[in-house]
């Protein structure tokens, strides 16, 4: 009520008041047009300000809305109220409450919040994305032209055939867990690639492949990938849709179910490829106790040490994504791997430059690479 009362007084005096101080009001940059940045300075003659009341109106002055009560020491405010309409002009008024109860009015020029068509704070990301895309296209072009592209051996992927052979000799199934994330996750997409390769081999060797899934969408894709691999191998008759199944979308019930499966079926080989979290070690240790050979791969940094400790082979981070290119030996895919290497060289050069310049007291590199999200 008190705020409303003050507002009424302000409206009454608006016509005759003269404003020696103004509020700087600017449309907030890099947003969708629903935010205004306000800042102000108090005259030196003014002291003892206990707080402010911020009001908002339109040039037509039909309504005067109270936006916020602001503490006396604050000199800026971002109005991102839901009532702000993109493209509408607003005027802000500020009442400064002093110890004696008097109010001083400050006013802004009209400001119109507008949505921007480009986020200037993300320019560094855009530049690097364009440079990286250019490198990818360049290396693909070179690969198409027949240039030999070397990819270093990746132990975990080389061991896939050995693992499948082991399962065949032992007459036990192979377990493939494609992580516990959605199909939209890049690590899950990488898991589909390796699953296709594993499924083709198991079809050729007539070894049972079991794929439990945490999400139904992932299950559907896995079923299609396995089915297609069995058809490619010329053994569509041996494909069993019930071996690629949905368990639950809860993390630990899923872990319990897969653990139970491992202890009952005693698979000869376990693949854990995709996105994993706290369940990684529970799965890998259970697999170890069940006597399975284990190949894991994840891009989840905190889980890599667990897999390294408990599994025979671990694909660390980008090795998981490199699997499809490594397995297919497709020049187009290998070209993208080479582009990654080139990008790493660029990053290392920038890092070294930054270290040297920062050591000499110049922070130009960190300022140039600043990202303002």
Partner 1 sequence: MKKQLPVFLTFICAFILTVQYFVPHRTFEQIYEVSNIWLQIIGVFSIFLGIISLVSQHIMKIRRRNRQWQYSFITLGGLIIMVAAGLFPPLQERGAYEWLYDHVLNPISATMFSLLAFFIASAAFRAFRARSAIATILLLAAVFVMLGRVPLGDRLSHGFFPAVANWLLNVPNVAAKRAILIGVGLGEASMALRVMLGIERSYMAGD
Map the footprint of partner 1 across residues 240-259, applying CB under 8 A.
242, 245-253, 255-256
Among 94-102, 157-165, 297-305, 364-372, the segment contacting partner 1 (CB under 8 A): 297-305
Q: How far is the CB of 158 from partner 1 (least distance, A)?
A: 19
Asked if 262 is part of the footprint of partner 1 (rule: CB under 8 A), the reply reads: no
Q: Toward partner 1, which CB reaches closer, 224 or 363?
A: 224
Closest residue by Cα to residue 92 from 108, 105, 104? 108
Asked if 131 is part of the footprint of partner 1 (rule: CB under 8 A), the reply reads: no
Q: Toward partner 1, which CB reaches closer, 306 or 313?
A: 306
Strands 174-177 and 269-273: parallel
Torsion, Cα 94 95 97 100, to 10 degrees, reads 140
Q: How far is the CB of 55 from partner 1 (least distance, A)?
A: 26
Cα–Cα dist 292/270, whole Å: 6
Asked if 196 is part of the footprint of partner 1 (rule: CB under 8 A), the reply reads: yes
Cα–Cα dist 213/235, whole Å: 23
Which residues are within 8 A (CB) of 295 and not within 5 positions of it... i.e. 6 or more apart? 156, 159, 160, 163, 269, 270, 271, 272, 273, 311, 312, 313, 314, 315
Of 159, 220, 357, 365, which one interacts with partner 1 (CB under 8 A)? Answer: 220
Asked if 119 is part of the footprint of partner 1 (rule: CB under 8 A), the reply reads: yes
Q: How far is the CB of 199 from partner 1 (least distance, A)?
A: 10
Measure Cα distances from 335 to 77, 174, 197, 261 in Å: 50, 32, 20, 40
Binding residues with partner 1: total (CB under 8 A):
85
Asked if 314 is part of the footprint of partner 1 (rule: CB under 8 A), the reply reads: no
Provide the β-strand partners of residue 57.
64, 91
Q: How far is the CB of 18 from partner 1 (least distance, A)?
A: 38
Rule CB under 8 A: which of 69-88 touch partner 1?
A: 86
Q: Toward partner 1, which CB reaches closer, 97 or 255?
A: 255
Cα–Cα dist 357/106, whole Å: 46
Asked if 150 is part of the footprint of partner 1 (rule: CB under 8 A), the reply reads: no
Asked if 132 is part of the footprint of partner 1 (rule: CB under 8 A), the reply reads: yes
Which residues are within 8 A (CB) of 328 and not within 5 positions of it... i.e. 6 or more apart? none
Asked if 189 is part of the footprint of partner 1 (rule: CB under 8 A), the reply reads: yes
DSSP-derived secondary structure letter, 122: G
Among 40-48, 62-70, 167-175, 275-283, the segment contacting partner 1 (CB under 8 A): 275-283
Q: Toward partner 1, which CB reaches closer, 132 or 205?
A: 132
Of 3, 124, 186, 369, which one interacts with partner 1 (CB under 8 A)? Answer: 186
Query: What is the token pair recorded at 3?
Result: 């705020």
Asked if 118 is part of the footprint of partner 1 (rule: CB under 8 A), the reply reads: yes
Diameter over CA atoms, the chain? 96
Check if the beta carbon of residue 273 is closer than 8 Å to that of residue 190: yes
Q: How far is the CB of 34 from partner 1 (least distance, A)?
A: 8
Contact track, partner 1, 277-296, x by CB under 8 A:
-x--xx-xxx----------
């Amino acid at each position: 009520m008190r705020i409303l009362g003050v507002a009424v007084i302000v409206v009454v005096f608006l016509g005759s008041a003269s404003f020696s101080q103004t509020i700087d009001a600017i449309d907030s940059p890099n947003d969708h047009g629903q935010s205004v940045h306000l800042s102000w300075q108090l005259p030196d003659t003014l002291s003892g300000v206990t707080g402010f009341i911020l009001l908002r109106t339109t040039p037509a002055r039909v309504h005067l809305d109270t936006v916020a009560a602001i503490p006396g020491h604050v000199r800026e405010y971002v109005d991102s109220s839901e009532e702000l309409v993109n493209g509408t002009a607003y005027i802000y008024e500020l009442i400064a409450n002093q110890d004696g109860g008097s109010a001083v009015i400050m006013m802004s020029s009209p400001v119109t919040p507008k949505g921007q068509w480009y986020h200037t704070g993300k320019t560094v990301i855009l530049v690097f994305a364009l440079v990286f895309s250019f490198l990818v296209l360049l290396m693909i072009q070179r690969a198409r032209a027949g240039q030999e592209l070397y990819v270093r051996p990746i132990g975990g992927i080389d061991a896939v055939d050995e693992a499948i052979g082991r399962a065949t000799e032992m007459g036990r199934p192979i377990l493939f867990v494609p992580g516990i994330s959605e199909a939209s996750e890049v690590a899950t997409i990488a898991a589909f690639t390796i699953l296709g390769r594993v499924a083709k081999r198991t079809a050729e060797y007539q070894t049972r492949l079991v794929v439990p899934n945490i999400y139904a969408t992932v299950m559907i894709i896995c079923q299609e990938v396995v089915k297609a691999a069995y058809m490619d191998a010329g053994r569509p008759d041996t494909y069993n849709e019930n071996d690629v199944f949905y368990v639950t979308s809860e993390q630990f019930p899923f872990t319990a179910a897969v653990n139970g499966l491992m202890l009952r079926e005693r698979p000869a080989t376990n693949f854990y490829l995709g996105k994993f979290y706290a369940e990684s070690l529970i799965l890998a240790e259970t697999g170890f106790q069940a006597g399975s050979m284990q190949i894991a791969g994840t891009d989840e940094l905190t889980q890599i040490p667990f897999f390294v400790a408990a599994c025979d082979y671990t694909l660390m981070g980008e090795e998981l994504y490199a699997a499809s290119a490594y397995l297919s030996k497709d020049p187009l895919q290998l070209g993208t791997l080479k582009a990654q290497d080139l990008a790493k060289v660029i990053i290392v050069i920038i890092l070294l430059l930054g270290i040297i310049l920062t050591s000499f007291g110049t922070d130009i590199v960190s300022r140039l690479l600043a990202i303002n999200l």
